A and B are shown apart, each in its own frame.
Chain A
Amino acid sequence: MSGLDETLLDDTEATVRVRFVVNGRKVACEVAPRETLVDCLRNELELTGTHAGCEMGACGACLVQLDGRAVHSCLMYAVQADGARIDTIEGLTESGVIADLQAEFHRRNALQCGFCTPGMLVNAHELLSQVAEPNREEIRDALSGNYCRCTGYEAIVDAIDAVAKARCEGGGAT
């Protein structure tokens, strides 16, 4: 060993080992106790589809599914999610559960810059799993925790409305 004074290393950040099932895969990583789940997903796991827009749970860009329910990954520390099942936009895309929502968003131009879109899709997926055929007011109300600065929302409401109707006619979600 070198003669390095160990106290020099005292202020390097301590890390904690956390384990999740992310998008169906078991992963473990070392995180600082103060690291938020969104930063862990983006920086440690390189799942950059989850976006940090406001860092205070207002804009909804960071929504992910935690044990099947939508949560703000900016309002949670990664250590709090230890042992949880996390599904991000990447996993939801890969599994095909939101393929109809994604196709309808694309068809109707319900996204422009796309920064809000992953959170919108997680929220829309959550809404349609709770309420089979919400009316437009209910859709607008449910989206109030998701800010979009580009579209003015109407196309997003239209897309969710169309998917809800299609799922009902098709005998439930695919």
Chain B
Amino acid sequence: MISTARVRPGGPLINSGSVNNTCFRSQLDNGTVDDAFAHAAHVVEEEFSFGRHTAVTLEPRAIVADYDPAAGMLTVHHATQTPYQFQDLYSRHYGIPEARVRVIATDIGGSFGMKLHVYHEDMAVVGLSILLGRPVKYVADRIESFVSDIHARDHRVRARMALDAKGEILAMDVLDLTAIGAFSTYPRTSVVEGNQVIRLIGAPYRFKNYRATLEVIFQNKVQTSQYRAVGHPIACAVTERLVDMAASKVGLDPFAIRAQNVIADDAYPQTSPTGYRFEALSHQACLKRLHEMMDYDALRAEQADLRKRGVYRGIGIAAFVEITNPSPAFYGVGGARISSQDGAVVSLTPSGEVRCLISVTEQGQGTEAIISQIVADQLGLAQEHVKVVTGDTEVTPHGGATWACRGAGIGGETALQATRALKHNILEIAALILQEQPSALDIIDGEVVDAATRQQRLPIAEIARIAYFRSDTLPPGTQAQLTVSHHFAPQGYPFAFTNGIQGCSLEVDLETGFIKVLKHFIVEDCGRVINPMLVDEQLRGGIVQGLGAALFEECRYSETGQLVNGSLADYLVPMAMEMPDIVIAHVETPTADTELGAKGCGEAGTAAASACVLNAVNDALTPFGATINSIPITPAKVLKALKRF
């Protein structure tokens, strides 16, 4: 049992392929950090720990493999986010031609990154079906989910920040130790989280002197890997807690120190000290908006009043940067056969409806709603006449599918470009029928209209009828193309970074150590908001997963290495009673890399919620000189910090 992150020299090797149980090391250093710390007026330093938690999709992993020996064809119904990745893997690992492997993954009951990875049971079920020539099914029950779904986080971070006398951040110096289980996940590896931690630390701020070391270590627990907001909550909590500690040391308000240090909204493009290229972010606008939305001064006044009466409230804020719309720089350049492009096939049906087959997939985010909205909007017909089909490698074109907040930004742009091409083709046929120039026509609400006057000319259903059934009436040589296939791969910036800031007001019960979150706030900038309700609900859901990590969720192990809380009665996920209402506002800074201008939003909530709570709890405990540097912030940790336990 290796319960601590560091393995003692001479101790047992968990992974025989490793030296000293080290999986991976990485270092970032621009060479100026020691000098910056030597000349700093203030230095703040803290050691943080982040508990292990897990996705707990309410629908567990499930797979049915059905190999037909006569046809040499493998069909797998697989509750995964990424059917194409699994089509590729089953094909190559079992030696079945790719075109004879079909993976179907429609309407999955939650995923949050957990359903990206290859699990032992997946390969076993497929293998058994090939051996038996019969369908084989596996559905994880809850205990199996807890001990085999990937876990996440499990980081210990030592970090320090140097500031000048006025509170200007000069430098950061970071060591992140993370333990990932006995071997790295396939095919995405378990080192991505640590990499994102050390690259996202400090991201909202202007300073340039940065050094970070990452050590990824093998230990005998469940594998960790990508789960919603990979690395972000750790980078955000480390940075934002140090910023609050610095504010207190320098004598600045948390809003003031952030306003002083964030990269100015008019200073973009910028490159972070860790090499991330930011196209355009809006920290200043978001800070200002959050201050108003929280009614910050009134909250502080109320806090002071209540303290006199023995009620201890805390206010915390946390700025964040989120990675979305990844390009091939994410996996492709590393040699992984994981696509960053998406594909769509858009058709006008004979009755004048539109059918869109697209490679992004649906686990509850509203992928199909977003895609149908974009198609309907771009073509000019009501959304109810658009049918979107996802998640079947036999039907939908190859693409990245859904992960890393790419569905709307990349999948949506794919749908937009495909639909524009279809509209062009429809208008060409309409122009022939109406003896007009295509450019003089447009489509509104399913009708071809004069572009200038908007006068109705012909329903698109009539164009479909003529093209499909009476092509003899079209001019000779006309071949109507009412099905368009189109692919889109992101170009320009390697990632579409987003930003935002969250705020939290909570109350700490000094007797029990219980924390009640009273209200949570977020100002978020995901570029163009396509569907406000779906964006807001992604933010709320993400925040609540972050609040779970902050206060409740932890995979706990016994001294002998057994997971001791592998049930939904023992592993605490947030319940309705404990969760606050969440107030949301948006700033919109579209990316110029796409026509759509949308960036991702699914991980923004989770990215900063736990940092916010950490800051708010520490704020509440200020009168007692007590501090907390570890999440989840359990009642026992609160009482321990207060020296009452």
Q: Which residues of A contact B (CB under 8 A)?
A: 51-56, 58-59, 61, 108-109, 111-116, 139-141, 143-144, 146-157
Contact = CB atoms under 8 A, between A and B. Distances in A.
B127 to A, nearest CB: 25
Interface in B540-596: 540-545, 567-569, 573-577, 579, 581-582
A109 B575 contact: no
Contacts of A140: 576-577, 579
Given A58-B567, A113-B364, A53 B541 contact: no
A56 B568 contact: yes
13 contacts: A51-B59, A54-B567, A55-B142, A56-B568, A58-B569, A113-B109, A114-B107, A143-B577, A146-B576, A149-B55, A152-B582, A153-B576, A156-B576
Contacts of A154: 540, 579, 581-582
Across chains A and B, which 6 residue pairs bring their CB atoms closest together, nearest first? A113-B364, A112-B364, A152-B544, A152-B540, A143-B576, A115-B109
Contacts of A56: 142, 567-569
B540 A155 contact: yes
Contacts, number: 112
Given A112-B364, A114-B109, A143-B576, A151 B58 contact: no
Interface in B130-147: 141-142
Interface in B446-483: none
A149 B56 contact: yes
Given A109-B537, A143-B577, A152 B543 contact: yes
A151 B579 CA distance: 11
Contacts of B363: 113
Interface residues of B, number: 37
A113 B568 contact: no
A147 B579 contact: no
Given A109-B534, A115-B58, 7 more contacts: A51-B58, A51-B59, A53-B142, A59-B58, A115-B59, A147-B575, A149-B541
A118 B581 CA distance: 23
Contacts of A51: 58-59
Contacts of B112: 149
Contacts of B569: 54, 56, 58
B57 interface: yes
A153 B57 contact: no
Contacts of A58: 567-569
Contacts of B567: 54, 56, 58
A151 B540 contact: yes
A59 B56 CA distance: 11
A112 B58 contact: no
Nearest to A146: B576
B533 interface: yes
Contact of B568 (A59, A150, A156, A157): A59
B576 A54 contact: no
A29 B156 CA distance: 55
Contacts of A54: 142, 567-569
Q: Which one of B112, B534, B579 has the greatest number of beta carbons of chain A within 10 Å?
A: B579
B321 interface: no
Most buried by B among A114, A115, A141: A115
